[in-house]
Chains A and B, each alone.
Chain A
C-alpha cells in the first residue's frame, strides 16, 4: 500500500488531556501537510513540512498544537490541553510542489 497512512482513525479524549496523531506519507513525497476539517466545512490548513523543515504554520495553529517531522519521514501532530473546540477530523496529505496532494483517511478527534 503506497497511500498516506494515519493513526489512529478515531480518538476520544477528555478535555484537558494531550493527544498525538501520526502520519506516514508516501515515501517519495517531500512535502507533508496537516489540515483540520469540521462538519460541513472544507479542510483548513494547519502546517506543512518540506522534508524535515516546518515551513509554514497557520494562525489556526495555537501554541497548544505542535507538529514534527523527524528526518523528513513520518510526522506527528500533538495537541496539548485539548478543548471541545478541537473536535474535528485531522487530515494529513503528502505531495510534491505544485502537484495534487494525496490525503490520508484522517483521524477523527472527539473531545468530551
Chain B
C-alpha cells in the first residue's frame, strides 16, 4: 500500500519552462509534509515543511503548496542547476518520515 506517490517519475524541461511536481499521500494524522532535493550520490537536502492545508512556502524558483490529499512543488522559470531528484515525505503521527520514490527533473539550456 503506497502512502506517498510522486508524479511524474521523470520530467524534462527547457530552461524557463515552468511546471509542477505532484505528491499525493494517503496517511492519516499528517504531522508534516516535507520536500527534499537530492543530487546524484548525495544525501537529500531539506527544502520545505508544510503542516496544514492551504499553506504555501517559497524559496527562489520553488513554491510548495499543500491540500488535504496532495502537495505540489511548482518550479518557475527553471535553470539547469535545478536539475535533481525531488523527494516528498510525510510524517505520520510522529514516526519517521515516509518517502515517495521521487521525481527526477532535468532542465536543459
Number of A-B contacts (CB under 8 A): 53
Are B43 and A91 in contact, with the CB atoms below 8 A? yes
- Looking at chain B, what size class is its interface with the partner chain? 20 to 34
Interface readout for B40-53 with A: 1 if CB under 8 Å, 0 if not? 01111110010000
- Total contacting residues, chain A, CB less than 8 A: 24
Are B96 and A99 in contact, with the CB atoms below 8 A? no
Partner of B96, one of A41, A48, A103: A48
Partner of A105, one of B31, B36, B42, B101: B42
Residue ranges of B at the interface with A (Cβ–Cβ < 8 Å): 4, 31-32, 34, 36, 41-46, 49, 87, 89, 91, 94-102
Residue ranges of A at the interface with B (Cβ–Cβ < 8 Å): 4, 6, 33, 40-45, 48, 56, 91, 93, 97-106, 108
